[in-house]
Structure 1
Amino acid sequence: MTRTQPPHTHTRADDAQGIAFGAAMAAFSAFLLGSAGLITGQLAGLALLLSQATGYSFGPVYLVLSLPFYGFGYRRLGAGFLRRTIAAVLLMVATSLALPRLMSFDLLHPAAAAVLGGLVSGAGLLALFRHRASLGGIGAVALDVQDRTAIKAGWVQMGFDAALFAFAFLVLPWDRALWSALGAAVLNLVIAINHRRDRYIV
């Protein structure tokens, strides 16, 4: 007879370190990608694209873009999720503003930036998911659309990314757009393999 393990709960200290780790990794991933002139998928990709086009820092651009999505997160997942997500976004923005003053790259091949950026971002997002937080954005809208219509959340996210990368191919050099697509694929693979919804629910 198998014994059922009790559900694992995180303490506030556990949540704090997990959210700090996830936010820092997300900021570092954006720094890697931005330094190589690349983007990624979802809202972070749009923020990187706008950052490169306008010269504004990634963090503040992401913060502004994410504001309209918090209502979806609250409605879907509640006040606790929203508080942790806002904390994660603010930490990510602060870290992304600090990183250019702390480091730079003499050599950064776009292939290395794409693969490492995808891996680092995947690790950061997994940490946030496992501490019931996120970086906000398209995912919350996709879930809301799925609840209201027959359109699956995955299709909404894929549609957004398809439109984003179609635009990226118009404004970025083709090789940078292709490396960016590789990085986004690595990120999605990390999440698909490691994010177990039967264990960690966001």
Structure 2
Amino acid sequence: MSETHPKSGHSFIDDVQGISLGIFLAGIGVHMLTTVGLITGQTAGIAVVVSYLTGYSFGLVFFLVNIPFYALAWKRLGTAFTVKSLISVSLLSVLTELIPLGMVFDHLDPLLGAVAFGALTGLGLLALFRHNGSLGGLGVVALLIQDTTGFRAGWVQLIFDGALFGMAFFLFDTEIVMYSVVGAIVLNLIIAINHRRDRYVAT
């Protein structure tokens, strides 16, 4: 029988399947987002914007953008959380390069792509949070704020996204930004409503 984590109640096998599912759902979500040329918020949003503007792959930029946040995660949220987040970010960076090789859309409506991205990635992040992991970056800060103040992580991310999308209006077409906002709202509402401090807390 696999050993159970003393704080989360999850065994090692539980964590492996939960984190794997979270990464897989997030990977499909990001692929749908970039297929229709939309952007998103949080650290992934920064990576998407930089990727569009420079031509570098999302996976590479996403991995590099997250590096500064690992020190904060290790100091405030513990070694286990930091290691799981590092693994999750690394695997998602690889997965976003592989998924396009096996999943190609002849047509994907931008609004549907935005909603699907928000739903899939939101569920993926929930799975990661509930197994004491994250996709790094702002997720680390949001969880830290939630665990210390009780202010929902989803609302923290939504505030940051508002600022990011405000800047995006100067870089992208208004239609692209508006569809992207829909995806971000879906994602963050899923986190805000379903990830409660009294149920699951990153420790």
Give the structure-1-normalised TM-score: 0.87
Q: CA 1:114–1:70 in structure 2 vs 1: closer, same or farther (change >3 Å)?
A: same
- For residue 92 of structure 1, what is the aligned residue in structure 2? 92
Residue 42 of structure 2 corresponds to residue 24 of structure 1: no
Q: Would the alpha carbon gap of residues 200 and 142 (structure 1) be closer, same or farther in structure 2, given more than 3 Å must change?
A: closer
**Runs of 4+ residues over 6 Å off in structure 1:** 143-148, 152-156
Structure 2 equivalent of residue 102 of structure 1:
102
Question: What is the 5 A alignment of 1:53-202?
Answer: 53-141=53-141, 157-202=157-202
Deviation at 1:143, TM superposition (A): 6.3
Name which of structure 1's ranges 7-16 and 181-190 shifts more when overlaid on structure 2. Answer: 7-16
Residue 196 of structure 1 and its aligned partner are, at CA, apart by 2.2
Q: Identity rate of aligned residues, in percent?
A: 46
Report the secondary structure of 1:37's partner residue: coil
Q: Which residue of 2 aligns with 1:4?
A: none
The residue type equivalent to 2:137 in the other structure is G
Deviations 1:74-131 (A, max 9, x none): 1111001111111111111111110111121110111001100000001100000110
Given the superposition, is the C-alpha separation of residues 159 and 198 from structure 1 closer, same or farther in structure 2, using an over 3 Å criterion?
A: closer
TM-score w.r.t. length of structure 2: 0.87
**How far, CA to CA, are the matches of 1:178 and 1:33 in structure 2?**
13
The answer as to whether partners of 1:25 and 1:123 remain within 8 angstroms in 2 is yes
**Distance between the aligned counterparts of 2:75 and 2:131, measured in 1?**
18
**Structure 1 SS opposite 2:169:** helix
- CA distance in structure 2 between the partners assigned to 1:8 and 1:83 by the alignment: 16
Distance 1:143 1:53 in 2: 29
**In structure 2, do the counterparts of structure 1 residues 38 and 194 end up closer, same or farther at CA, with 3 Å as the change threshold?**
same
* Residue 162 (structure 1) shift: 2.7
Paired amino acid for 2:185: A
Aligned partners of 1:72 and 1:144 also within 8 Å: no
Task: Find the aligned partners of 1:51 and 1:29 in 2 and give their Cα distance.
Answer: 16
Q: Please state how far the C-alpha of 1:145 moved relative to its aligned partner.
A: 7.8
Cα distance change, pair 153–188 in 1 and its aligned pair in 2 (3 A): closer
Report how far residue 43 of structure 1 moved: 0.5
For this pair of structures, how many residues does the alignment match? Answer: 194
CA RMSD of aligned residues (A): 2.4
Structure-2 separation of matches of 1:12 and 1:84? 12
What is the alpha-carbon distance in structure 2 between the residues aligned to residue 55 and residue 171 of structure 1?
15
Q: Distance in 2 between matches of 1:146 and 1:134?
A: 14
Cα separation, partners in 2 of 1:144 and 1:21, compared to 1, 3 Å: closer
For the 8 Å contact 1:30–1:48, the answer to whether it is kept is: no
CA shift for structure 1 position 166 = 1.5
Q: Is the 8 A contact 2:121 2:187 kept in 1?
A: yes
Partner of 2:50: 50
Assess if the C-alpha contact under 8 Å between 1:24 and 1:91 holds in 2: no
Q: 1:142 to 1:119 in 2, by over 3 A?
A: closer
